[in-house]
Amino acid sequence: MDGFDIPIGEWGKAVVDWIRDNLDGLTDAISTVVGFLAEGLAAILIAPPAPVMILIFALIAWMVRSWQLAVGTVVMFVVILGVGQWETSMQTLALVLLATLVTVVIAVPLGIWAARNDTASTVMKPVLDLMQTMPSLVYLIPVIIFFSLGFVPGVIATVIFSLPPGVRLTELGIRGVDSETVEAGHAFGATPGQILRGIQLPLAMPTIMAGVNQVIMLALSMAVIAGMAGAPGLGKEVVAALATINVAQGIEAGLGVVFIAVYLDRVTAALGNPAGSRSSLLGILQRRREDARRASASASAQTPDTVAAAA
């Protein structure tokens, strides 16, 4: 229809302009804190000799998973070192780890709130849908306006893009906890906080860790795109390779991203299924339920014939 126009883009621009003009103190503070943490973490990962860091990564893989993963870790990081992408890989790892930590700190409480409050869940769903389906490049426009170029816009855009699966899978994990176990906790006299910490979170941990895994994978994919915002690391290498049509550089930087993704995926998957990880409250409830089942089985074994024979 002629003359029909909904200026959604202009409304969004007005919001961005208002934030830039009125909340510049807040954005400056966020930029300072995030920049300090990202650059500090990158410096910590880069400072030790590469062989020492490779050994540390391998030991972590061995402790949480297996010696096979440790050997694979050594091979992958030696290849990264051999193609000259060690420093950029550590910068990308720092960006991903910081963005994942911030995302988890935000996503887990939101997921718990959504699991406990249907209204909150209903309100969050369309917002999370919008965040998850919005093209990732769009996030770079406002964050560059707010935070200029470098690590900070990369971290902020990565957090926004990777938040939805963390919230969704935390909610799914909490809602999926056996209701009988929760009712047993109430009967045992536990407070809602004790039930959350002692029953729901331990039982939901595999699902929550699956959400963390998805957060890391999305953070890695966004970390490459964040190279367009000047974030140092493998993403910047990929952008430079694209600009110069440098196939070799693109392959080497891409392999670095793949190897980091494989390593973080295997480690977080192993952390999501810790052997014997049960809280004291959950363990007590499980033992009591087992005792009750054994008592029930023993009582059912006392048939009339058995009782008559005993008499």
Give the pair of three-digit tokens for residue 167. 């919230």
Range of the domain at 25: 9-47+83-293
Q: Supply the pLDDT for residue 294.
A: 58
66 found inside a domain: no
Q: Supply the pLDDT for residue 247.
A: 86
Nearest Cα to Cα of residue 260 among 99, 100, 98, 92: 92
Q: Label residue 286 by pLDDT band (50, 70, 90).
A: low
Instruction: Give per-residue pLDDT as tens, 157-178.
Output: 888 888 888 888 888 888 887 7
pLDDT at 186 over 80: no
Name the most confidently modeled range: 61-70, 195-204, 266-275.
61-70
The rounded distance, in Å, linking the Cα atoms of 298 and 306 is 12
Of 51-60, 119-128, 133-142, 237-246, the range with the lowest mean pLDDT is: 133-142
Mean of pLDDT over the chain: 79
150 found inside a domain: yes
Nearest Cα to Cα of residue 267 among 21, 72, 25: 72
279 found inside a domain: yes
Of 4-13, 87-96, 183-192, 271-280, the range with the lowest mean pLDDT is: 271-280
**Which residue type occupies 291?**
D
Q: Supply the pLDDT for residue 287.
A: 54
257 found inside a domain: yes
222 found inside a domain: yes
**pLDDT (mean) for 19-27:** 76
The rounded distance, in Å, linking the Cα atoms of 214 and 219 is 8
Q: Supply the pLDDT for residue 273.
A: 60
pLDDT at 263 over 50: yes
Instruction: Give per-residue pLDDT as tens, 205-259.
Output: 888 888 888 888 888 888 777 777 777 888 888 888 888 888 888 888 888 888 9
Q: Label residue 55 by pLDDT band (50, 70, 90).
A: very high
65 found inside a domain: no
149 found inside a domain: yes
61 found inside a domain: no
Query: Cα separations (Å) of 95 from 87, 152, 171, 263, 279?
Result: 12, 9, 26, 15, 33
The rounded distance, in Å, linking the Cα atoms of 129 and 45 is 35
Q: Label residue 276 by pLDDT band (50, 70, 90).
A: very low
Domain count, the chain: 1
pLDDT at 296 over 70: no
Q: Label residue 277 by pLDDT band (50, 70, 90).
A: very low
Torsion of CA 263, 266, 271, 275, to 10 degrees: -140
- Domain at 217, CATH number: 1.10.3720.10
The rounded distance, in Å, linking the Cα atoms of 260 and 269 is 14
Instruction: Give per-residue pLDDT as tens, 58-113.
Output: 998 898 878 888 888 899 999 998 888 888 889 889 888 888 899 999 998 998 88
Three-state DSSP class for residue 135: coil
Q: What is the pTM of this model?
A: 0.77
